[in-house]
Amino acid sequence: MSEGRGTVMLVGVVAVAAWAATSKPVVIPTDGQRLQIEAQYQAKDSVNRNQATEYLPPGLENRTGQLGGETGDQRSPEVTFLGVKPGEWLIAFVTALLWYATMRLVWDARETSKRQLRAYVHNLGVQWFWHVDPTNNRVWYSFKPEFKNLGGTPAHGVKVFTARYFEIDDIPETFPFQTDVVPPSIAVGPQASFAGAEIAVTGNDLVQVQMGTMHLLIWGWAKYRDTFAGTPERSTKFCVRVSLRGNPLVVPSETAPLVMSFAFHTHHNEAT
């Protein structure tokens, strides 16, 4: 249960308490009490009729009124604070609490709308392509990360960086995954896909990866801002390890298939 809904329930409880404190109880008389009340009304009507036929001397009406005031009901003074009754203070408090609950619901709805509509740049993986160098007829390969804005609003200032780790030793746990390069920025509409920079790898490089003498990882990030003002810069990071089956020195075909696999690394795979 959200805080706004809980506040509304609390307002309802306090409102019922305020109504109970300021309202008068309804008493339903029994049959005997009803007969007694009717007899009292009949006696009162008879007295009024008799008084109407009598002559009242001048000035007696005022005296009678004074006597009635002296012998009437004696009521205790009402309790107030700053001239306001306790029940009215309670109603004012309930009104203020209801206003606060309404504002909380509006704020929660606005934040929920932002979360549902904001840009979400997601990494779809890494695509690979083979090429033939016309100067020596050797096969080489390119790797491109793919992204998609899964949100309902555009992503602004989108910058994508892609790099490779190609070393004898495996990537260390303390690898910084940082760069001083500032890529150009673009805008990406909702539900639109785009790719990062191309990473070139030779067939001989992949042979060494296949033999286990070298480690090849493709890593990078996409940084962007959503369309809502005041929100921080977002980022989507990725890092995959490349492995393969087949002969990377020949053009892939049905008779010489080449299968590339990309396994997510334990680090640098996150999004904000």
Instruction: Please determine, for residue 32, whether its predicted confidence score (pLDDT) is greater than 70.
Output: no
Beta strand 138-149 with 193-195 is antiparallel
3-state secondary structure of 107: helix
Q: Alpha helices of the chain — where are they, by DSSP H?
A: 3-22, 31-53, 60-71, 86-117, 203-211
- Asked whether 119 and 153 are in contact (CB, 8 A), the reply is yes
- Asked whether 158 and 187 are in contact (CB, 8 A), the reply is yes
- Asked whether 208 and 214 are in contact (CB, 8 A), the reply is yes
Residue 42's pLDDT band (boundaries 50, 70, 90)? low
pLDDT in tens, 99-113: 777 777 666 665 566
Which residues are paired to 245 by β-bridges? 259
Higher-pLDDT residue of 247, 104: 247
Widest pairwise Cα distance in the chain: 139
* Cα separation, 48 vs 223, whole angstroms: 93
Instruction: Provide, for the chain, the percentages of residues in helix, strand and coil under a 3-state DSSP scheme, each rounded to the nearest 5.
Output: 35, 30, 35
Lowest mean per-residue pLDDT among 57-61, 103-107, 116-120: 57-61
Which residues are paired to 141 by β-bridges? 130, 201
* Cα separation, 112 vs 3, whole angstroms: 13
- Asked whether 149 and 191 are in contact (CB, 8 A), the reply is yes
Other Cβ atoms less than 10 A from the Cβ of 129: the count is: 10
Q: Where are the beta strands (DSSP E) in 176-233?
A: 185-188, 193-195, 199-202, 215-225
Higher-pLDDT residue of 205, 59: 205
Mean pLDDT score of the chain: 80
Domain boundaries, the chain: 3-117, 121-271
pLDDT in tens, 161-184: 999 999 999 999 899 998 888 899
CA quadruple 219, 163, 196, 230: dihedral, nearest 10: 70
Percent of the chain with pLDDT over 90: 51
* Cα separation, 36 vs 172, whole angstroms: 98
Instruction: Please determine, for residue 18, whether its predicted confidence score (pLDDT) is greater than 50.
Output: yes
Closest CA to 192 of 152, 145, 144, 238: 152
* Cα separation, 241 vs 243, whole angstroms: 7
pLDDT in tens, 220-235: 999 999 888 888 999 9
**For residue 68, what pLDDT is reported?**
46
**For residue 89, what pLDDT is reported?**
72
What region does 213 belong to: left with phi over 0, alpha with psi -120 to 50, or beta?
Answer: alpha
- Asked whether 139 and 254 are in contact (CB, 8 A), the reply is no
**For residue 230, what pLDDT is reported?**
82
For 121-271, CATH gives 2.60.40
**For residue 183, what pLDDT is reported?**
92
